[in-house]
């Protein structure tokens, strides 16, 4: 028998089987060692997955640079609550009668010189026109004579003149003064006239208030009859809104203190100041008056407007088209401004009317993006945020 055949003797076969068994045991131990750590790390992996999911659920603020904000022309504000975009009426802007002054001389006057142009903004005390004429000269002369008589009589003793004559002289000078004030001349101008009679025949018409020149009817050399309007000065920092209400609308506004005025796609609050409580015979409507803050003088008397009337029990807030965009899943959304950035919030549109929407799902106290939301939505899409976890 050869030497190679010895390996297959019983003793050799036993050694081979023992070696194979040891190798299998080592492989099983190695497999158990690899699997055991995986079973031990399963809770940790599950916790990490939950943390990642929670982080994904939380809305991530969108941050913009100063250049991006300027480019987007973002406008922030709070939405109005308690107004229905379908509950509206027509209106027209008018001058604030408490801040307007119509100059109407009560004597015939001639325009000697103009110091203003139509639409000019003037300050109180600024010269508007130089006026004169026969009636002006007569009134000024009458005052100077009456004042001279009164100065002489008031210096006399009570024994030298009767009380009735003294009273008549005083009445005469005050009457003459009142005629000059009706021109109108100011107290300073009247005092200067008394001290310098050479000023008889003309005077400068001064602006009684600061405002803008309107309804300018004066012409050089023109003889303006008493009672006719020369011009009007208007303080445009405040305007009146005159809205026409149907009887049904009027019955729902008994306690209204504020309305919303829509002018050139902008919605502005106006404080209610009164109602006529009388129907117009032709239109069968009642007029409501409100005061509109116009300190930036963007609006002018005569402009047409639309008024949204209040409905306090109505749920939802009022937002323009420019505040609404579509989210990645097709829902409507708005952007809320926070210290960390802009956060998208899904909302529901309850009703719409000519570019304005009654929206539910956001508070009226939130600082919302009213203009520039489309830019934010685009930036949100580029950044890959999915704020709604869809």
pTM above 0.75? no
Under a CB-based contact definition with an 8 Å cutoff, are residues 178 and 108 in contact?
no
Residue 192 is encoded by which pair of tokens? Answer: 């200067």
Q: Treating both helix axes as pointing N-terminal to C-terminal, what angle do 134-154 and 187-195 enclose, rounded to 10 degrees? A: 70
As a whole number of angstroms, the distance between CA 258 and CA 85 comes to 15
- Residue 371's φ and ψ, nearest 5 degrees, are -145, 135
62 secondary structure, DSSP code? B
The three-state secondary structure class of 53 is: helix
Task: List the chain pLDDT tens, one digit each, 390 residues.
Answer: 444 444 334 444 444 444 444 444 443 444 344 444 444 445 554 544 444 444 445 567 888 887 887 788 888 888 888 898 889 999 999 999 999 999 999 999 999 999 999 999 999 999 999 999 999 999 999 999 999 999 999 999 888 899 999 999 999 999 999 999 999 999 999 999 999 999 999 999 999 999 999 999 899 999 999 999 999 999 999 999 999 999 988 888 877 889 999 998 788 999 999 998 899 999 999 999 999 999 998 999 999 999 999 988 888 999 999 999 998 888 999 999 988 889 999 999 999 988 899 999 998 889 999 988 998 898 888 876 544 444
79 CB-side CA count, 13 A: 33
Cis bond before residue 184 (omega within 30° of 0): yes
Under a CB-based contact definition with an 8 Å cutoff, are residues 61 and 340 in contact?
yes
The count of other CB atoms within 10 Å of the CB of residue 309 is 19
Residue whose pair of structure tokens reads 């009134």 in the numeric block:
139
The helix (run of H) or strand (run of E) holding residue 77 is: strand 75-77
108 secondary structure, DSSP code? -
- Residue 105's φ and ψ, nearest 5 degrees, are -65, 140
């Amino acid at each position: 028998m050869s030497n190679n055949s010895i390996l297959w003797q019983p003793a050799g076969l036993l050694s081979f089987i023992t070696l194979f068994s040891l190798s299998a045991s080592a492989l099983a131990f190695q497999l158990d060692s690899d699997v055991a750590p995986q079973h031990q790390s399963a809770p940790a992996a599950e916790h990490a997955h939950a943390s990642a999911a929670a982080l994904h659920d939380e809305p991530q603020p969108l941050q913009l640079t100063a250049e991006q904000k300027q480019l987007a022309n973002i406008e922030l504000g709070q939405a109005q609550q308690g107004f229905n975009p379908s509950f509206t009426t027509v209106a027209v802007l008018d001058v604030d009668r408490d801040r307007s002054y119509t100059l109407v001389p009560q004597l015939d006057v001639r325009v000697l010189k103009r110091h203003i142009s139509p639409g000019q903004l003037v300050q109180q005390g600024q010269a508007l026109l130089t006026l004169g004429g026969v009636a002006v000269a007569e009134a000024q002369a009458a005052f100077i004579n009456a004042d001279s008589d009164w100065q002489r009589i008031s210096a006399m003793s009570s024994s030298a003149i009767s009380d009735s004559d003294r009273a008549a002289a005083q009445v005469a000078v005050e009457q003459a003064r009142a005629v000059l004030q009706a021109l109108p001349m100011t107290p300073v101008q009247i005092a200067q006239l008394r001290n310098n009679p050479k000023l008889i025949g003309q005077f400068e018409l001064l602006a009684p208030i600061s405002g803008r020149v309107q309804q300018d009817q004066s012409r050089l050399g023109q003889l303006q009859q008493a009672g006719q309007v020369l011009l009007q000065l208007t303080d445009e920092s405040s305007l009146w809104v005159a809205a026409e209400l149907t009887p049904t609308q009027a019955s729902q506004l008994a306690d209204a203190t504020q309305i919303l005025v829509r002018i050139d796609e902008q919605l502005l609050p106006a404080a209610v100041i009164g109602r006529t409580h009388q129907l117009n015979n032709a239109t069968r409507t009642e007029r409501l008056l409100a005061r509109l803050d116009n300190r930036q003088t963007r609006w002018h008397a005569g402009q047409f407007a639309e008024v949204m009337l209040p409905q306090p029990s109505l749920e939802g807030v009022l937002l323009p088209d420019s505040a609404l965009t579509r989210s990645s899943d097709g829902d409507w959304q708005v952007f809320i401004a926070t210290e960390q950035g802009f956060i998208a919030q899904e909302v529901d549109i309850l009703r719409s009317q000519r570019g304005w929407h009654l929206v539910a799902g956001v508070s009226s106290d939130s600082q919302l993006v009213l203009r520039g939301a489309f830019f934010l939505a685009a930036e949100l899409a580029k950044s890959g945020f999915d704020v709604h976890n869809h």
